[in-house]
Amino acid sequence: MARSPRIAVIGSANTDLTTFADTFPRAGETIFGNSFDLGFGGKGANQAVAARLCGAEVMMIAKVGADLFGEATVKNFASFGIDTTHVRIVEGVSSGVAPIFVEPNGQNRIIVVKGANDTLKPADVDAAADALRGADTIVLQFEIPLETIYYAVQFARKHKIRCIVNPAPALPANLEHLFAADYFIPNETEAEVITGMPVHSVDDAKKCAGELLSRGFSKVVLTLGARGSLVASSQGMELMAPFAVNPKDTTGAGDAFIGSFSVFLGEGIAEKEALSRANLYAALSTQRVGTQKSFPARPEFKAEWARRGGKP
């Protein structure tokens, strides 16, 4: 395509405080961890950075606190060349933070304290409306108020902007307000919480995706970690195979998937190939520690895609 895709992320920004340990304490117990990492995170911010690293023009609509983390977050966006015109600093509330605990196999547990993210309201979407109308794709997650997400989905529909909703972390939501999204992309846990159906296998994932379609979504992608991703629509379902890697830290892999997929699709790459590329981009992100700092830049991704012949 002639120009880079324009991606707008309306979402969260957190500071990630990640502890790596062999085990985790029981109530009343103190144990020693192995190492610690401080980094920029938040599902929205991570998706914005992934999209930027993949080559898109990216604008972020977000709120941070008037504290050290907030100021550093704005600088971090700017260092990637992400448009921060609509990232506001708010008084009287902390920035979003996320204590994260990672096991030796790379599996993570996260507690998010939303702080300023919870003050991002529909009025903030309106304040950014002129800029948003120029976007090709609006990307949303669940770390900001649901009313803002519902509003942004309707905004995208009204202005014929592609809309991707990543319901992360899992929350009971009024799905009717989300049906207008072009893509609904939960992981297994999120899909389970939303449908009440277990997702322990690819067959379970197919049943769950079918349920989401029957409820009213037009296109569902279930991200399945090491099993790849499943795309489902009225045209049928297809499992997009995973790429083999040795994961060190899976935190942010879902965000890497969403951010990169929005760009590949925005570049006009056919949907299935865009999903397969996003599978690889997400897999590569698990080979390094942290979230944003684990995401590969486009040349690294391109070389890896070529080295593997574009095949899992």
Active site residues: 255
Q: Which residues of 244-258 are buried (b: 16+ CB within 10 A; e: fewer)?
A: ebebbbbbbbbbbbb
Site size for ligand RIB (CB under 6 A): 15
* Interface pattern 163-182 for ligand RIB (x via CB under 6 A): --------------------
Contact predicate 281/50, CB 8 Å: yes
Is-cis flag, bond preceding 104, omega within 30? no
**CB 252 → ligand RIB: shortest distance, Å?**
4
Report the candidate in 183, 310, 205, 208 with the shortest Cα–Cα distance to residue 258: 183
DSSP string, 124-137: HHHHTHHHHTT-SE
Q: Is 278 helix (H, G, I), strand (E, B) or coil?
A: helix
**CB 110 → ligand RIB: shortest distance, Å?**
5
Residues 28-47 that bind ligand RIB (CB under 6 A): 41-43, 46
Using alpha carbons only, give the angle 160, 165, 169 rounded to the nearest 5 degrees. Answer: 160
Our finding on whether 228 is near ligand RIB (CB under 6 A) is no
Binder of ligand RIB out of 51, 112, 144, 280 (CB under 6 A): 112
Burial of 39 (0-12, 13-18, 19+ CB in 10 A): buried
Residues 75-104 that bind ligand RIB (CB under 6 A): 98
Tokens for 238, please give them: 């297809």
Binder of ligand RIB out of 90, 110, 193, 202 (CB under 6 A): 110
Give whichever of 87 and 98 is closer to ligand RIB, judged by the CB atom. 98
Binder of ligand RIB out of 14, 137, 148, 294 (CB under 6 A): 14
Sorted by sequence, the CB contacts under 8 Å of residue 35 that are 6+ apart come out as 19, 20
Our finding on whether 143 is near ligand RIB (CB under 6 A) is yes
Report the candidate in 56, 82, 25 with the shortest Cα–Cα distance to residue 268: 56
Give whichever of 14 and 137 is closer to ligand RIB, judged by the CB atom. 14
**CB 44 → ligand RIB: shortest distance, Å?**
8
* Interface pattern 247-276 for ligand RIB (x via CB under 6 A): ----xx-xx---------------------
Residues that bind ligand RIB (CB under 6 A): 14, 16, 41-43, 46, 98, 110, 112, 143, 251-252, 254-255, 291
